[in-house]
Structure 1
Amino acid sequence: SWGKKKRTVCMKMEIARATRWMQTMTFAIKEINQRSDLLPQLKLGFHIRKSLQGDEASGVSMALTGLLFYQVSYFASCSCLSDQKEFPTFMRTMPSDAFQISALARLVSYFGWTWVGVIGVESDYAHFAIQHFLQELVQYGVCPAYIHFYPVVLSQQALDELLDVIQVSSSKVIINFSGESELQSILREIRHRNVSGLQWIASEAWATAKSLWEEFGDLLKGTLGFGIRRAEVIPGLKEYLTRLRLSDIYESPFLTEFWEETFNCRLNGSLNVHSHGVSYQDRMPCTGKEDLDDIYSAYSDVSQLRVSYNVYKAVYLVAHALQDMSNCLTGHGPLQNGICGNPKNFKPWQLLHYMKHAKFSILGEKVNFDENGDPIAYYDLMNWQKGHDGSLHLVKVGFYDASLSAGHHLVINDSPAHSVCSESCSPGTRIARRRGEPVCCFDCVTCGEGEVSNETDSLECLRCSEDTWPNEARHLCIPKTIEFLSYHESLGIVLCTVCVLGACISLSILAIFFTHRDTPLVRANNMELSFLLLLFLALCFLIGLFFIGEPSDWLCRIRYPAFGVSFALCISCILSKTVVVLMAFRATLPGSNIMRWFGPNQRTLCHLSTPQVIICLIWLLISPPYTNHNTGYNAIIIVECAIGSEFGFWCVLGYIGVLACMCFLMAFLARKLPDNFNEAKFITFSMLIFFAVWITFIPVYVSTAGKYTVAVHIFAIVASAFGLLFCIFAPKCYIIILKPEKNCKKNMMHK
């Protein structure tokens, strides 16, 4: 029948694997015997016996240890065997299941599975493992959806009970503690019931069982499990295994059985008493031309050297223990009273003591044991993936190393492609769990402003430093762009041109006035103050250049005081002109002595501008302006002049405002003086423009940022300076240049 044929195939595979393990042991023994640096005075031998149950199983190890057999197991993993009081004669190169259980619990927690099914075969191995697993789950907040044990021999009733439990539950993640043979019946029934979408988590016993793939690959795709440490290669083992020839077979009934089952032939004088599948008498005689290189066999498959590696380490453990015993100095030995064991005549318990304290390196791995005789655990996290040709690819996607610091035992290199229902999130995005759905289903959300992720399936995005910003893909932080109002950009060039043009116009008007200084128009408008006003206006235009270019501390400390003092001087000149004219007319009234309160023009100017100079000096001494790299903007760092003291800055502007108000008031009072003589109406209009510019400046200045704040400041300086220049001097230049006939004393005195 089909079932019988399948069991025959499985039995042949088991025989092939067991023979490989046996041959690995003989290979290691022969390798050690040929070495001159390890046991040079001793030769190791072996005697092989067969158990009906297979001595690699935990149950058999427990039974043998109970009979006080000393043993080093290469496959028994039950955590119960770590109890040295109950099993004092036991050692192993296979890690205890206690480590595997911790690894599985961390794995479940890593993927956020909080509702999982737990099943296992009725055995000490599964009972101890599941009991420990449930204890581990508590600390991660994971709850078992169900716990179900099934018999080793699965009847239809047992299968129905198990499948009913699986189908009723909402959990799609199943952790199974069994061997591969029990799992086959379960998977067959799952296919029969058309159950899909299950995520299998394999215990170590079947995490690398390739034999399951051919029939159940569609059900097991995406399976995760921890396999014991794999040796990439054991030098010389492949050649040793395939060198086996017919002449070597008669030495052992185990090799005879393997040979006959592998090539389906019969040997003359065979010691094999077992036959699987075809009747022994129906087989053709072996020809002697059979070659292991011509067929595939689990015996010669060294792609997954895991249990074989444990066998190899077990032999070397015995050898190193004997070597330590040989090197022991009497009186300094590890046994009671400093006694050393005799490597040629020792008690089994003495060798066991040396083995538990052995430390050695093999194939690049450091081997040592804890106080229970268990090796320090290391597991490969394997993911079952389908290759292009449909074959099984056991891909290592992480590992569990018990020697690492607490909390860092589990390392996952990459999320397995088939273990979640959503595609991986690329760098620049993060995983966002879907509410109400299994945690293995998620959306990929683009990292927020100022955040990046440079790994696939990142759980969170990392914020860039203050001076960096994400690139367009948001997987890398790049330096922010430095921004300031530069002479090399169009806005800076335009403002610079306007500033220079304003200064040139002011100096040109000054030249015109100086050339016509003897004319009545120039003399009638307070020539000295007019010259000073034109110089200060030219200075105001040039002050705008201090606001262009990359700021520095000294430049910041010059620009604001220079701006404040230059405008204070301009407004003071205009105020002085207005006051002098107004007082001059008032002084002509009978009995008026008002002119004695006003001295020369220079003194008035000095009195009016001195407070602004004092304000600027106090500002510079207490909290001066400084260069600031403002990183509070996206993608740019604004290099700006921080004003230092807000109070000082607004005091400077405030004092200019006070002078402007006084000037406007004086011009208003002088409105009824003779039109041809005074310039009150021009000053009044210029002050209105001045107020309009600076009142508009305040809200715009506060609401803009970066280089545009500087541009607004320069614009306010230039606009107000042009307002003063054109309102006050344009009418006079018109008369001087275009209407020289009006530039006479008669016209000036005409009412």
Structure 2
Amino acid sequence: MAFQSVYVCLTLLLSTLISSQLLQNCRLIRSTSDLPVLIKEGDIMIGALFSLHDSVLESPSSFTAESNPTRCSGFNFRTFRWMQTMIFAIEEINRDRQLLVNLTLGYKIYDSCSTHFHALRTALALMNGNIEGTGISECWGRVPVVIGDGGSTLSLVVARFLGVFHVPQVSYFSSCACLSNKFEFPAFLRTMPSDFFQVDALAQLVRHFGWSWLGIFTGDDAYGRGGAQIFIDEVTKLGACIAFYEIIPKNHDQKEISRIVQRIRESGTSVVLVFALEQDARALFWEALRQNLTDIQWLASEAWITAAVLSTPEFHSILQGSMGYAIRRADIPGLKPFLLRLHPSKYPQDPFVQQFWEEMFKCSLGTSNKDSSHRPPCNGSEILAKTGNIYSDVSQLRISYNVYKAVYAIANALDSMLRCEPGKGPFPGGLCPNTSSIQPWQLLNYLKHVRFTNVFGEETKFDGNGDPVAMYDLINWQLSGNGEVRYATVGRFDETMQPKLVIEEKNIIWNGNQKQVPMSVCSNSCPPGTRKATRPNFPLCCFDCIVCAAGEVSNQTDALECEKCLPEFWSNTRRDTCVPKLVDFLSYSDTMGITLLAVALLGSCFTLAVAFIFAIKRHTPLVRANNSELSFLILSSLWLCFLCALAFIGQPTSWSCGLRHTAFGIAFSLCLSCILGKTMVVLMAFRATLPGTNVMKCFGPLQQRGIIFLCTAVQVVICCTWLSVAPPVPCKLMTHETAQIILLCDVGSPLAFSLVLGYIGLLAAVCFVLAFFARKLPDNFNEAKFITFSMLIFSAVWIAFVPAYVSSPGKYTVAVEIFAILASSYGLLLCIFIPKCYIILLKPEKNTKRYLMSKSNSERKY
């Protein structure tokens, strides 16, 4: 802001000094008298600046002698056509009997030679007029408006100077968005759309084709730098990233251009925007051609998309398929014959026609032009119509059309000024301008509000920034059958329409003569089922695709995060949708369930087999000596224990959950109670050695039944209380870490469950202690030994059960519990009854009273 303030102050000071000088005496400054100029007198003069040459040949400066006249080089036929189009439009208006009646337009045209300094000199020449006068009105009356200049950089210089005096300037080719700033350039208008609209159209094109990894080359000028910066801002908002941003040096240094072209290969991008003038673009493409860079899709700015200098055959291999926006074209009737009318003999005073003719036919007209002195003389037989130069090519009249519209805009503004009715004017009090002495600031006011429709049906007007309505054609370079470049229109961009961008994709030919849209991404899109993970020290467009974790999904492309499924759901194999979790439980159909079922049924069958053997041999001494009633009761409880395991297999229900733990708790309590009763009888029978002792009377059959009933009743009370207060119920075990819903039985009351197991453990412990004391009692068949061993197995199984039950996941907790039930049941069955069955079935000689009583010191029975 501080710099702008200083700039404004200096500008105002300069304007004051120049204005005071002009008020004193408006005359031609001698330093501009050497400039070639084309003048045609008229009632109203229009100044114009055209860069008819590409550069200035500077002569050595001297402070002791007058400098040599300025010489320019590199004649530009395209710009010369623009100038002739202006003359054509002026003559067309002068012939029009409805526009500017009774007035003629004249012109004063200078060559700005594509350099800042020269453009400023020509603008100064236009400001001073071409004749000496005595007042400011006469000077302003000569050139009240200026058309030009072409390039944005040149217009910046000229616009700052003309803006001091509010002299309207209408540019036909300056597109820099910076020129829309009315604070710096109050008198600047243009028929060329601002780069802001072109960049917006380019950004929409990038978004349409999904390109997110782009390279940018710009010219080292206001046009390139300004346009590229706006483009970067726009595409960044759309989520694209810039792979590189390089500036083409104005001196076209081959080493530097080689370096920046190499950046394309290093970046890996396949779409590159070149926002530069045709001269800079040409230098870049020469190097790209040298490096054989043929697989790049070039995006063009309007400055070179229709440049004939780049459509030559040597560039076809790299530029075929290029795409960019060009301003609207028009076919101007009568222009081509007008262009072909030129001949040096008809315009001997036109300095530009002489140079044009010499450059066109590479001959010399004998003028003072040193560049043509070595050429053969022109013989006068040259025919302009037989040349195929860009000058006479009217197939792509775009900038020429802008020049045409600029002239008509000025003419319509002047016409509106001349038709002003007193009292209805645009100035305070309804005043109209003095048409006998047109003031630039008055014409500027009319130009800002001009609005007309030309013969092509297009409306021309300027917005508040002096910009026209933005309309572009989307151009695609395609090779015709004869090998020439055809500028095919494959879409349009119109700021006033919806949608703004319309593309005919089927008509596009891409680089390499392909119909498929090229891809240009740093990383391919992440498909559904994955998420984006940024790479450190890389732009956001460079990322890795990470597969969603189990239980998480992403159902859209380029998802930033994966979403967790609800507890009842799980991710499918593609990780793109949540599906209901599989319900899992220990069933009769899976391998584990079948195995446990088989083992349980086998155990129950073994138990029944033992009971059958005991029933058949119930009258034998061994069976009778072991209290057959208790034996059958133990076998019945063991059979129930084996069958309890079946309640743990299958889908949990309310009744099965309640039956599981209570049934096995009561069954085991009954079994252990019977074993406890048997052990107590054995122990008491052999301990009662004193004569006359009546201890065995306290452990008769009735007392044994009472002990069994009381011990079992305690467990029954615990289980009934459990079922009434907090019974086991089915539950679903759902976690985000598993793909299954485990159906289990919740114990309801952990305390009750602990009491059931604890009571069973208590009975087992008492049995073990009593059996341990009776293990060495004298007898040929001491059952206490086998009870002790069975209790050891029983205790070991259930002690190991506790940590295994706690640590087992899901349905394996049920399997652990079943295993504990079956293992302990098998332990009791095998340790207590198998030895007896062995004697009964295989050693019948030992199943006698004599054998059982032999070597015994007493005749006690147990």
**TM tier, shorter chain?**
0.5 to 0.7
Contact 1:111/1:439 (<8 A) preserved = no
Alignment partner for residue 588 of structure 2, among 483, 487, 490? 487
Distance 1:441 1:594, change over 3 A: same
Alignment partner for residue 684 of structure 2, among 563, 583, 592? 583
* Residue 168 (structure 1) shift: 9.8
Q: CA deviation digits over 1:386-437, x for unaligned, max 9? A: 9688236584xxxxxxxxxxxxxxxxxxxx62443x6776666666666677
Matched residue, 1:122: 221
Distance 1:139 1:682, change over 3 A: same
**What secondary structure does 2:779 align onto?**
coil
Alignment partner for residue 538 of structure 1, among 617, 639, 643? 639
1:639 to 2:743 alignment: yes
Moved more, 542-551 or 483-492: 483-492
* Residue 655 (structure 1) shift: 2.8
Moved more, 560-569 or 581-590: 581-590
Distance 1:515 1:118, change over 3 A: same
What is the CA–CA distance in structure 2 between the aligned matches of 1:523 and 1:91, rounded to whole Å? 125
Alignment partner for residue 718 of structure 1, among 817, 822, 827? 822
Alignment partner for residue 600 of structure 1, among 703, 706, 709? 703
Contact 2:728/2:745 (<8 A) preserved = no
**What secondary structure does 2:732 align onto?**
strand
What is the CA–CA distance in structure 1 between the aligned matches of 2:315 and 2:720, rounded to whole Å? 88
What is the CA–CA distance in structure 1 between the aligned matches of 2:579 and 2:247, rounded to whole Å? 54
* Residue 522 (structure 1) shift: 3.5
What is the CA–CA distance in structure 2 between the aligned matches of 1:565 and 1:380, rounded to whole Å? 83
Q: CA deviation digits over 1:175-234, x for unaligned, max 9? A: 8673563552242354377497999995865798798798668767999x9979x9xxxx
Contact 1:447/1:474 (<8 A) preserved = yes
Q: Pairwise mapping of residues 42-441 of structure 1 onto structure 2 (< 5 A)?
A: 78=177, 81=180, 97=196, 100=199, 119-120=218-219, 122-123=221-222, 126-127=225-226, 130=229, 155-156=251-252, 172=267, 178=275, 181=278, 184-191=281-288, 194=291, 205=302, 252-254=333-335, 281=383, 283=385, 390-391=512-513, 395=517, 417-420=519-522
Contact 2:176/2:223 (<8 A) preserved = no
* Residue 699 (structure 1) shift: 4.5
Matched residue, 1:573: 674
**What secondary structure does 1:600 align onto?**
helix
Task: Give, as a single letter, the amino acid of the residue that structure 1 aligns with 2:597.
Answer: C
Matched residue, 1:682: 786
Alignment partner for residue 809 of structure 2, among 700, 705, 709? 705
* Residue 649 (structure 1) shift: 4.0
Moved more, 613-622 or 197-206: 197-206
Q: CA deviation digits over 1:141-168, x for unaligned, max 9? A: 9999878587xxx5546x8777777879
What is the CA–CA distance in structure 1 between the aligned matches of 2:449 and 2:681, rounded to whole Å? 123
Alignment partner for residue 656 of structure 1, among 748, 760, 768? 760
Task: Give, as a single letter, the amino acid of the residue that structure 2 aligns with 1:541.
Answer: F
* Residue 712 (structure 1) shift: 3.4
Task: Give, as a single letter, the amino acid of the residue that structure 1 aligns with 2:275.
Answer: S
Matched residue, 1:289: none
* Residue 583 (structure 1) shift: 2.9
Matched residue, 2:603: 502
Matched residue, 1:524: 625
What is the CA–CA distance in structure 2 between the aligned matches of 1:381 and 1:155, rounded to whole Å? 37
Contact 1:572/1:609 (<8 A) preserved = yes
* Residue 670 (structure 1) shift: 1.6
Q: CA deviation digits over 1:604-629, x for unaligned, max 9? A: 12332344344445555347353223
Contact 2:155/2:174 (<8 A) preserved = no
Distance 1:85 1:489, change over 3 A: same
Contact 2:301/2:325 (<8 A) preserved = yes
Q: CA deviation digits over 1:507-540, x for unaligned, max 9? A: 3433444455555443432333222211111111
Structure 2: segments with no counterpart, 5+ residues: 1-53, 55-72, 85-145, 342-352, 362-380, 389-393, 406-447, 453-459, 465-492, 857-862
Aligned-residue RMSD, C-alpha: 6.7
Contact 2:211/2:240 (<8 A) preserved = no
What is the CA–CA distance in structure 1 between the aligned matches of 2:395 and 2:663, rounded to whole Å? 93
Distance 1:375 1:77, change over 3 A: farther
Moved more, 119-128 or 606-615: 119-128
What is the CA–CA distance in structure 2 between the aligned matches of 1:562 and 1:210, rounded to whole Å? 96
What is the CA–CA distance in structure 1 between the aligned matches of 2:612 and 2:504, rounded to whole Å? 91
Task: Give, as a single letter, the amino acid of the residue that structure 1 aligns with 2:784.
Answer: A
* Count of paired positions: 592
Moved more, 552-561 or 568-577: 552-561
TM-score normalised according to structure 2 size: 0.51
* Residue 684 (structure 1) shift: 1.4
Matched residue, 1:28: none
TM-score normalised according to structure 1 size: 0.57
Task: Give, as a single letter, the amino acid of the residue that structure 1 aligns with 2:641.
Answer: C
**What secondary structure does 2:733 align onto?**
strand
Contact 1:628/1:639 (<8 A) preserved = yes
What is the CA–CA distance in structure 2 between the aligned matches of 1:195 and 1:488, rounded to whole Å? 69
1:551 to 2:652 alignment: yes
**What secondary structure does 2:587 align onto?**
coil
**What secondary structure does 1:641 align onto?**
strand
Q: CA deviation digits over 1:424-471, x for unaligned, max 9? A: 766666666666778776666655555566667766666555555555
Task: Give, as a single letter, the amino acid of the residue that structure 2 aligns with 1:191.
Answer: A
1:673 to 2:784 alignment: no
Distance 1:199 1:572, change over 3 A: farther
1:612 to 2:734 alignment: no
What is the CA–CA distance in structure 2 between the aligned matches of 1:534 and 1:730, rounded to whole Å? 12
What is the CA–CA distance in structure 2 between the aligned matches of 1:545 and 1:145, rounded to whole Å? 73
Contact 1:207/1:382 (<8 A) preserved = no
What is the CA–CA distance in structure 2 between the aligned matches of 1:75 and 1:98, rounded to whole Å? 13
What is the CA–CA distance in structure 1 between the aligned matches of 2:297 and 2:285, rounded to whole Å? 15
Matched residue, 1:46: none
Contact 1:118/1:147 (<8 A) preserved = yes
What is the CA–CA distance in structure 2 between the aligned matches of 1:387 and 1:490, rounded to whole Å? 63
Larger Rg: 2
Contact 2:216/2:275 (<8 A) preserved = no
Task: Give, as a single letter, the amino acid of the residue that structure 2 aligns with 1:500.
Answer: L
Contact 2:218/2:276 (<8 A) preserved = no
Alignment partner for residue 834 of structure 2, among 725, 730, 733? 730
Contact 1:102/1:133 (<8 A) preserved = no
What is the CA–CA distance in structure 2 between the aligned matches of 1:85 and 1:673, rounded to whole Å? 121
Contact 2:306/2:396 (<8 A) preserved = no
Distance 1:387 1:202, change over 3 A: closer
What is the CA–CA distance in structure 1 between the aligned matches of 2:245 and 2:510, rounded to whole Å? 36
What is the CA–CA distance in structure 1 between the aligned matches of 2:335 and 2:498, rounded to whole Å? 33
Distance 1:74 1:510, change over 3 A: farther
Distance 1:368 1:657, change over 3 A: farther
Task: Give, as a single letter, the amino acid of the residue that structure 2 aligns with 1:122.
Answer: D
Contact 1:385/1:418 (<8 A) preserved = no
Distance 1:724 1:704, change over 3 A: same
Structure 1: segments with no counterpart, 5+ residues: 16-49, 231-236, 262-272, 287-295, 301-306, 312-346, 357-366, 396-415
Contact 2:685/2:696 (<8 A) preserved = yes
Distance 1:439 1:106, change over 3 A: farther
